[in-house]
């Protein structure tokens, strides 16, 4: 099912009842259909590492040989919508603290000279530094799009735009490189073992650099063999840790990936060498970063179908983590249908699976960046202010006494049943007698990404 259709097909309605003491909501996604439990070597318990000779060569040939005419019209249309969203989010993020600080860093280093634009300013820099700054801007507010396994645009689009601006490339060249990059980074992220994220890696940085490298290699016209060198270099650029969620460095992970792709492709074009089998080889990316991978999720899958068509790319409604999105939707709906305000609510309890609890680690946020990874704040600010846009995810709002008081009434806890279901549920307990409940199921969401919003239409910010 395409993500842009899931709200229509998966919402199961609301009901109201009396004298039971609470408003309840439930958001569920199925267990992953991929290798959560890799096959084990005999007697050792270690996952068996797949043998897929030629995988990096396959990816390199896809990058080098794909033409604009190979892109389906539907994929181009969705790509345009996502591009517009990413540009808008990037402009909004250009006034954020992370974006301001990285520009100060570039200025002090004497690197604000070149032909590539730094968005939201009159400044210019070399492509690699423009990609760094603009990648941070797109991801700074955590308002950017999400593909099947990572934030697609932030680690990729700034590199594409910088190359096209400096090289005076066409819109078709831009779209082709962007689509190729999105395809490569998401399929790599799909294929790697779930242990990759569970160990603390941030896919926007670790997998996004391969998307940036793929797009840069395409725009530089690299042959397949040279593209494989670029991917090998990208393997050593790959980085990003989830512990930095709720800090400026989360957006750096994406910006660094965008910059890293420009560097990797540029070095390969200049004759720099690397392992030609960086993805599938032992001691290569998949083994080092996840211990295993599912070759069926990448080999033969590039452009078959295109990621923008299936499963699709998500445009967020709220400027915070993907995990909070479905619960926030449900809370807003219940508030509207049953006229709930903060004064009505005694407490809110949200159960989630272990991976989501670990991701949303900011249980008592003190600033706007931390609030983006706090389930407690996401619910509290809706109840107190009735909305959760960019103006709400600020230090001042987070620190308001009324918001902090409501945060203390929200409990986010691990529920073992959701570890099995890869789901999340919420129970809103009022002071009064009435109850309202709703149920929501997302059949396409991964366990660390429970919400998938429609692709069509304008962004709606309550």
Last residue of a domain, one of 227, 260, 293: 293
Same domain, 70 and 213: yes
Cα within 13 Å of Cα(340), Cβ side: 31
Residue pair 223/64 in contact by the 8 Å Cβ criterion: yes
Q: Which residues are 430's β-sheet partners?
A: 345
Cα dihedral sign, 138-139-141-143: positive
| pLDDT in the model for residue 385 | 96
Is the domain of 72 the same as that of 183?
yes
d(CA 310, CA 174) in angstroms, rounded, equals 21
Residue 121 vs residues 84, 92, 94, 156: alpha-carbon distances, Å: 18, 12, 8, 20
Annotate 309-339 with b (16+ C-beta within 10 A) or e (fewer).
Answer: bebbbbbbbbbbbbbbbbbbbbbbbbbeebe
Comparing CA positions, the residue from 408, 374, 372, 407 lying closest to residue 390 is: 372
Q: Are residues 277 and 334 in the same domain?
A: no
State in Å, rounded, how far the first CA of the chain is from the last one. Answer: 27
Structural domain of 392: 3-33+318-441
Spatial distance between the Cα atoms of 375 and 194, rounded to a whole number of angstroms: 22
Q: Is residue 8 part of a domain?
A: yes
CATH number for the domain spanning 232: value is: 1.10.4100.10
CB 262 within 8 A of CB 215: no
Mark whether 325 and 276 lie in a shared domain.
no
Q: How far apart are CA 170 and CA 175, in angstroms?
A: 9
Q: Same structural domain for residues 92 and 216?
A: yes
Residue given tokens 């290569």 in the structure block: 284
Q: Which among 293, 328, 344 is the end of a domain?
A: 293
Residues 240 and 325 in one domain: no
Domain with residue 333: its CATH number is 3.30.1330.120
Does 375 fall in a domain? yes
272 and 168 part of one domain: yes
- Cα–Cα dist 302/307, whole Å: 8
Residue 460 falls within a domain, yes or no?
Answer: no
29 and 138 belong to one structural domain:
no
- Pairing assessment for the beta strands 435-441 and 23-28 based on DSSP bridges: parallel
Establish if 450 belongs to a structural domain.
no
* Cβ neighbours for 261, distance < 8 A, ≥ 6 positions apart: 131, 155, 156, 159, 181, 209, 210, 211, 212, 213, 214, 215, 216, 234, 237
Q: What is the pLDDT along the chain (462 residues), one digit of tens a residue?
A: 344 343 333 222 222 222 224 555 554 433 333 444 344 444 455 658 999 999 999 999 999 999 999 999 999 999 999 999 999 999 999 999 999 999 999 999 999 999 999 999 999 999 999 999 999 999 999 999 999 999 999 999 999 999 999 999 999 999 999 999 999 999 999 999 999 999 999 999 999 999 999 999 999 999 999 999 999 999 999 999 999 999 999 999 999 999 999 999 999 999 999 999 999 999 999 999 999 999 999 999 999 999 999 999 999 999 999 989 988 988 898 888 888 889 888 888 888 888 888 899 999 999 999 999 999 999 999 999 999 999 999 999 999 999 999 999 999 988 887 777 655 666 666 665 444 444 333 333 333 333 333 333 334 333
Structural domain contains residue 277: yes
The verdict on residue 202 lying in a domain is yes
Contact 314, 92 (CB under 8 A): no
Residues 341 and 390 in one domain: yes
224 belongs to a structural domain = yes
328 contacts 388 by C-beta, under 8 angstroms: yes
Give the separation between CA 356 and CA 418, rounded to whole angstroms: 10
- Whether residues 268 and 353 fall in one domain: no
Distances in Å between the Cα of 287 and the Cα atoms of 36, 280, 284, 295, 443 are 15, 8, 6, 12, 29
The answer on 148 and 267 residing in a single domain is yes
Q: Residue 307: name the closest of 435, 449, 151, 141 by CA.
A: 151
Q: Is residue 300 part of a domain?
A: no
Same domain? For 186 and 239 the reply is yes
Q: How many structural domains is the chain composed of?
A: 2
């Amino acid at each position: 099912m395409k993500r842009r259709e899931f709200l229509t097909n998966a919402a199961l309605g609301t009901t109201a009842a009396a004298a039971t003491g609470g408003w309840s909501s439930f958001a569920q996604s199925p267990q992953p259909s991929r290798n959560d439990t890799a096959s084990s070597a005999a007697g050792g318990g270690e996952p068996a590492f797949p043998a897929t000779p030629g995988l990096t060569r396959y990816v390199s040939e896809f990058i080098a040989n794909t033409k604009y005419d190979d892109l389906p019209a539907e994929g181009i249309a969705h790509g345009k919508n996502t591009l517009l969203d990413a540009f808008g989010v990037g402009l909004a993020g250009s006034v954020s603290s992370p974006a301001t600080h990285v520009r100060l860093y570039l200025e002090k280093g004497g690197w604000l000279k070149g032909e590539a634009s730094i968005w939201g300013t009159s400044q210019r820099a070399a492509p690699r530094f423009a990609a760094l700054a603009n990648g941070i801007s797109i991801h700074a507010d955590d308002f950017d799009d999400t593909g099947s396994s990572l934030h697609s645009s932030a680690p990729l689009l700034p590199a594409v735009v910088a190359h096209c601006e400096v090289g005076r490339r066409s819109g078709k060249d831009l779209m082709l490189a962007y689509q190729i990059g999105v395809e490569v980074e998401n399929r790599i992220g799909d294929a790697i073992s779930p242990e990759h994220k569970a160990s603390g890696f941030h896919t926007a940085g670790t997998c996004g650099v391969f998307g940036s490298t793929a797009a840069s290699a395409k725009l530089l016209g690299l042959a397949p063999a040279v593209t494989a060198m670029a991917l090998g270099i990208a393997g050593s650029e790959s980085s990003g840790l989830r512990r930095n969620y709720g800090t400026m460095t989360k957006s750096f992970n994406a910006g660094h990936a965008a910059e890293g792709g420009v560097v990797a492709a540029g070095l390969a074009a200049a004759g720099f060498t690397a392992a030609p089998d960086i993805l599938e080889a032992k001691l290569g990316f998949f083994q080092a970063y996840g211990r295993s991978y599912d070759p069926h999720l990448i080999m033969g899958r590039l452009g078959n179908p295109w990621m923008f068509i299936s499963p699709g790319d998500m445009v967020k409604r709220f400027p915070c983590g993907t995990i909070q999105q479905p619960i926030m939707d449900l809370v807003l709906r219940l508030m509207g249908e049953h006229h709930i305000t903060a004064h009505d609510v005694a407490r809110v309890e949200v159960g989630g699976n272990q991976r989501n609890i670990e991701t949303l680690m900011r249980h008592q946020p003190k600033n706007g960046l931390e609030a983006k990874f706090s389930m407690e704040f996401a619910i509290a600010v809706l109840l107190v202010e009735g909305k959760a846009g960019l103006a709400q995810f600020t230090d001042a709002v987070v620190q308001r006494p009324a918001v902090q008081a409501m945060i203390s009434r929200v409990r986010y806890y691990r529920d073992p049943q959701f570890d099995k279901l890869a789901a999340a549920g919420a129970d809103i307990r009022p002071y009064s007698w009435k109850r309202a409940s709703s149920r929501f199921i997302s059949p396409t969401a991964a366990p660390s990404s429970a919400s998938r919003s429609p692709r069509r239409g304008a962004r709606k910010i309550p």
